[in-house]
Every structure is written in C-alpha cells, then in structure tokens.
Amino acid sequence: GNVKLADLGLATMAGRQRPADRRSDVLMGTPHYMAPEQSKKGSIDSRSDIYALGTTLFHMLTGRVPFDGPNSLVVLTKHMTQERVDPRQYDVTIPGELAELIMKMMAIDMAARPGEPKDLADRFKLMKDAYLLDLEETSKKKAKAGVVKKRATLTSQGASGPSIAPSKVLEQ
C-alpha cells in the first residue's frame, strides 16, 4: 500500500504570509517534531518542514522519537542542542544511505539540511529505485541458488533415488 502523511493544521502556502489570526508570540507545533529554529522563533522555510519529515521518518523507522523528555521545554531544548543519534543504533536493518539522509534532514543548522523538497523527493526516488533493483537481484540470486541446490540434491541421489529432468526442477 501507499503511505500518506498529512498534518495541515499549521500549513501556510509557500511564499505567503502567516495568517493574521496566528499569534506570533505563541509557539505552535508538536515539540517532538519541531525544528530548532521554530523553538527560537527564528525564520522558517521549507527546511523546517524537511526537519519535521526527518523526525517523522526517524520515529516511523525506529519506533521512537529522536528526542524525548518529561515536558515540552526539555524536548525543544534537546532539538536545539543534542547530537543526533543514528537511527541504525535502534534498528540495524535501516539502509545506511537512508539513515544518513535522515540525520542530514535533522541537522541543527538549517543550512546543512537538504534545501529543496524536490531535490529531497528525487533522492528518495533514487534510493527506492536502487533498493527495488537490489531486492530484485537478490531475489533472482536466491531463486537461482534454490534451483541449483534442488538440482544438486536430486542428481546426487543418482541411481538409488528419484531422477527428475532439469525442466521439472525449474517448475517446482
């Protein structure tokens, strides 16, 4: 199936001003996913959303948020100050390239994050295509190894066991 993420409660169209009904003196967002610049009430742009996506992916892949604490202030402070933990520390099956991209998406410094959502989407597509290609090649290798193993088992039985033609092995 397809995964769809949506959280448009605080959304603003790109290039538009914040709606007048939003107070600038109130911190808005979910602390576990907020970029450091949001906590500092700094300038935000698409890289703040990239940070939030990075924390969401971290959570999805590891089953835990990158930073936690007893209250929102502690969580927000950790986002601004603590070193990022490689998600593979919690799940070694996460591909290295994906883990590195997530960590880059969660960089404290906005300038160190991927700049454009389109570029990020292209990187994810390349990773997905490479993963699917690798998966296909691995499946072919496993299937070929299974056929070779079956063939070796059947022919090693020789005269004392059943004899099956190679075409029958491929059908099994």
Q: Which residues contact 109 (CB under 8 A, 6 or more apart)?
A: none
pLDDT 10s digits, 2-28: 766 665 455 555 555 555 455 555 667
Annotate 74-120 with DSSP letters as a single string.
HHHHHHHHSPPPPGGGT-TTS-HHHHHHHHHHT-SSGGGS---HHHH
pLDDT 10s digits, 83-122: 999 999 999 999 999 999 999 999 999 999 998 899 999 9
Of 83, 98, 105, nearest to 33 by C-alpha is 105
Which stretch of DSSP H or E encloses residue 138? Answer: helix 117-156
Give the angle subtended at the CA of 53 by the CAs of 51 and 59, to the nearest 5°.
105
